Amino acid sequence: MKSGLLSQLESVLNKKYILSDDESKAPYLTDWRKRYTGKALAVVLPANANEVAQIMKICAATSTAVIPQGGHTGFCGGATPDSSGNQIIINLKRMNQVREIDIANQTISLEAGCILQVVQEKAAEQGFLFPLSLGAEGSCMIGGNLATNAGGTNVLRYGNTRDLCLGLEVVTAQGEIWNGMKGLRKDNTGYDLRDLFVGSEGTLGIITAAVMKLYPLPISQWTTLVATQDIASTIALLNLFQKRATSLLTGFEMMTSESLALNQKHFPHMANPLQGNPPNTILIELSDHESEEHVKQLLETILEEAFESGLISDAVIATNLSQANSFWQMREHITLAQAEEGANLKHDITIPLSALDDFISQTDALLRARYPGVRIINFGHLGDGNLHYNIAPPPGIDFKAFNLANEKPVHELVYAQVERCKGSISAEHGVGQLKLDGLRAHKGEVAHDLMKAIKKALDPQNILNPHKVVSI
Ligand SMILES: Cc1cc2nc3c(=O)[nH]c(=O)nc-3n(C[C@H](O)[C@H](O)[C@H](O)COP(=O)(O)OP(=O)(O)OC[C@H]3O[C@@H](n4cnc5c(N)ncnc54)[C@H](O)[C@@H]3O)c2cc1C
């Protein structure tokens, strides 16, 4: 039956776009963190929505499960197949055309396989900002960003990927094409299908194209690193910036000294320019469409006020673009430094800002009491209450052995504190297969049952990314 399936696929795609030997499939089978490796009957590379639709029709007729895949940079194993060897990966990388930049409507219509960084560059060429920005932007794709509702460093000002999306084109589990490629900012015509597919991690449909919002490109940007001694001052500092800079505040990222120590170890050229290894290094960015001088003065005034009220103890303002980039590089390299060091126990969580101090102090204390010497690599998009609260074994202890013995209790401890503080167990990375088991307890029975009902209605055969997000 399975070789019959491959020959049916050959009626849709040129053979060279159906990868079925082990060597050509290998790069698509292991996730970025190397936590999951699966098997696949084939990896198919369609060139347009019609081809995706025909592939889905064949898969629906043969009850074959498909795994939609973009850049394969997701952190939850969502784009990795299971170990059966019966699933088909549909990788969208050949669908990488920008269809239109609509200047008057300030939108870009593009295919799902466009690399995020290319989208930013295409927008900038026309004088626009496409504000989605994250560490994997050189390889993640817009379809993957939409499917995971990715966050990143600009959420504070521009929102998640969901907030940037106006329209979608989606291939359904039955192989129909839904054309919702409208660039409308208002459209109250019943259930919002676009919002249903955004964040559904390939379990409800395959996103083949999208209409995304563009913004005027800022002409001035000022970036600073400041030192804070504790979380309470950090939140007060954020509130001060929100009050004084309002919408000019475009970045507010936190890096603890333990996170930056990892950077220092693996990327020694990334030294923190702040004095004395402060407990928290905060990266702040202001952007504006007015003169450079206006933003700089505003930044200096706010920093002065922060110094006077004791919220910060040191500050360095980037004097040029390359220094500003090096500040952002420090932030982005923490994820890479962790990957170099060993597989951390990761928690991508959100906590209401008002409970953040309580969460961090209690959870840090509980972890340090239970696992003496444990390293807490805590950093993230603090402006959104989003922490990457990751746990590494004490120096000298083997990662594999520590994780094997402690993964479950560490997750339980951290997630219990997340629930106590009314947070979320997945801020921006999604659920995938990593967080499938904990979801029912976290969402509550009613919400979880509604999710199952939606999945059953749209994909009754359970062939779209089965056993990811929600099992039916
Ligand atoms: C260094 C690094 C930094 C990162 N920083 C951030 C960050 O700051 N914020 C953040 O949110 N994430 C971050 N991520 C995670 C990751 O980059 C995002 O989740 C990204 O949106 C995934 O895009 P992708 O194309 O790689 O998707 P993939 O990994 O290929 O897929 C992710 C999920 O989406 C589904 N999918 C993919 N394409 C489609 C499609 N066309 N239609 C339907 N479903 C689809 C897959 O089945 C899977 O479930 C980071 C990752 C790395 C490696």
Average pLDDT, integer, range 252-260: 96
For 6-30, write each residue's pLDDT tens digit.
999 999 999 999 999 999 999 999 9
Determine the distance separating the centroid of ligand 1 and the alpha carbon of 421, expressed in angstroms.
Answer: 27
Pocket probe mutation, ligand 1, options 28, 69, 160, 467, max atoms within 8 Å of Cβ: 69
C-alpha–C-alpha distance, residues 364 and 417, integer Å: 10
Whether the per-residue pLDDT at 1 is higher than 80: the answer is no
State the distance from the centre of ligand 1 to the C-alpha of 28, rounded, in angstroms: 14
CATH code given to domain 220-420: 3.30.70.2190
Q: Which atom of ligand 1 is nearest to the CA of 381?
A: 8
Q: Which atom of ligand 1 is nearest to the CA of 78?
A: 49
Matching residue, tokens 């995304």: 212
- In ligand 1, the atom with minimum distance to the C-alpha of 160 is 11
The pLDDT of residue 290 is 78
In one-letter notation, the amino acid at residue 71 is: G
Compute the distance between CA of residue 285 and CA of residue 154 in angstroms, rounded to an integer: 10
Q: How far apart are CA 39 and CA 51, in angstroms?
A: 23
**Residues 327-335, mean pLDDT to the nearest whole number:** 94
Residue nearest to atom 16 of ligand 1 (CA): 74
Mean pLDDT, residues 379-398: 95
Can you tell me which atom of ligand 1 is nearest the CA of 141? 25
Residue 168 pairs with which residues in a beta bridge?
A: 180, 210
59 with 4: CB under 8 angstroms? no
**Which pLDDT does position 71 carry in this prediction?**
98
Class of domain 2-91: alpha beta
Q: 102 in helix, strand or coil?
A: strand
Question: What is the distance between the alpha carbons of residues 75 and 25, in angstroms, rounded to a whole number?
Answer: 20
Distance of alpha carbon 39 from alpha carbon 408, whole angstroms = 26
User: How far is the CA of 294 from the CAs of 239, 287, 299, 332, 346, in angstroms?
Assistant: 21, 10, 9, 28, 40
Pairing of strands 206-213, 107-111: antiparallel
Distance 89 CA to ligand 1 centre (A): 15
Tokens for 83, please give them: 């170990």
Could you name the CATH architecture of 98-216? Answer: 2-Layer Sandwich (3.30)
Ligand 1 closest atom vs CA 205: 43
Q: Output the pLDDT for position 291.
A: 79
- For residue 2, what pLDDT band results from cuts at 50, 70 and 90? low
Residue of minimum CA distance from atom 15 in ligand 1: 74
Residue 92: per-residue pLDDT:
98
The atom number, within ligand 1, closest to the CA of 116 reads: 25
Q: Which of 385, 381, 390, 451 has the alpha carbon at shortest distance from 423?
A: 385
**In this structure, which residue's CA is closest to atom 23 in ligand 1?**
144
Q: What are the structure tokens assigned to 137, written together? A: 């932007």
User: What is the model's pLDDT at position 3?
Assistant: 66
- Which pTM value belongs to this model? 0.95
CB atoms within 10 A of CB 243: 10
Residue 173 pLDDT exceeds 90: yes
Q: For residue 379, what are the β-bridge partners?
A: 255, 388
Backbone angles phi, psi at 451, to 5 degrees: -60, -40
19 CB contacts (<8 Å, ≥6 apart)? 25, 28, 42, 43, 44, 45
Q: What is the mean pLDDT of residues 69-91?
A: 98
Closest residue (by CA) to atom 28 of ligand 1?
72
pLDDT given at position 253: 97
Checking if the pLDDT of 307 tops 90, the result is yes
Place of tokens 């209409």: 211
pLDDT in tens, 211-247: 999 999 999 999 999 999 999 999 999 999 999 999 9
Across residues 441-470, what is the average pLDDT? 97
Residues with CB under 6 A from ligand 1: 32, 67-75, 78-79, 92, 112, 134-136, 140-141, 143-145, 147-148, 150-152, 201-202, 206-207, 335, 428-429, 432, 465, 468
| Closest to 145 (Cα-Cα) out of 130, 158, 162, 128 | 162
Atom number, ligand 1, closest to the C-alpha of residue 31: 29
Distance 305 CA to ligand 1 centre (A): 39
Stretch 77-106: mean pLDDT, rounded? Answer: 98
Q: Which residue has its alpha carbon closest to ligand 1 atom 36?
A: 144
String of DSSP letters for 184-226? -S---SSS-HHHHHTTSTTSS-EEEEEEEE-EEPPSEEEEEEE
| Of 148, 156, 382, best ligand 1 pocket probe by most atoms within 8 Å of the beta carbon | 148
User: Domain map of the chain by residue range?
Assistant: 2-91, 98-216, 220-420
Closest residue (by CA) to atom 41 of ligand 1?
143
The number of CA neighbours under 13 Å toward the Cβ of 329 is 15
283 in Cβ contact with 253 (< 8 Å): yes
Please enumerate in sequence order all residues whose Cβ is within 8 A of that of 299, keeping only pairs 6 or more positions apart, or say none: 222, 224, 245, 284, 286, 317
pLDDT (0 to 100) of residue 394: 94
CA-nearest residue for atom 7, ligand 1, is: 152
| Contact status, residue 284 vs residue 206, Cβ threshold 8 Å | no
Phi/psi of residue 282, each to 5°?
-115, 130
> Distances from the Cα of 307 to the Cαs of 86, 239, 304, 327, 397, in angstroms?
61, 15, 5, 21, 40
Residue among 30, 56, 73, 133 to mutate when testing ligand 1 (max atoms within 8 A of CB): 73
Query: Any idea what DSSP says for residue 395?
Result: T
Task: For residue 292, name the pLDDT band (cuts at 50, 70, 90).
Answer: confident
pLDDT digits (tens, 9 = 90+) for 100-127: 999 999 999 999 999 999 999 999 999 9
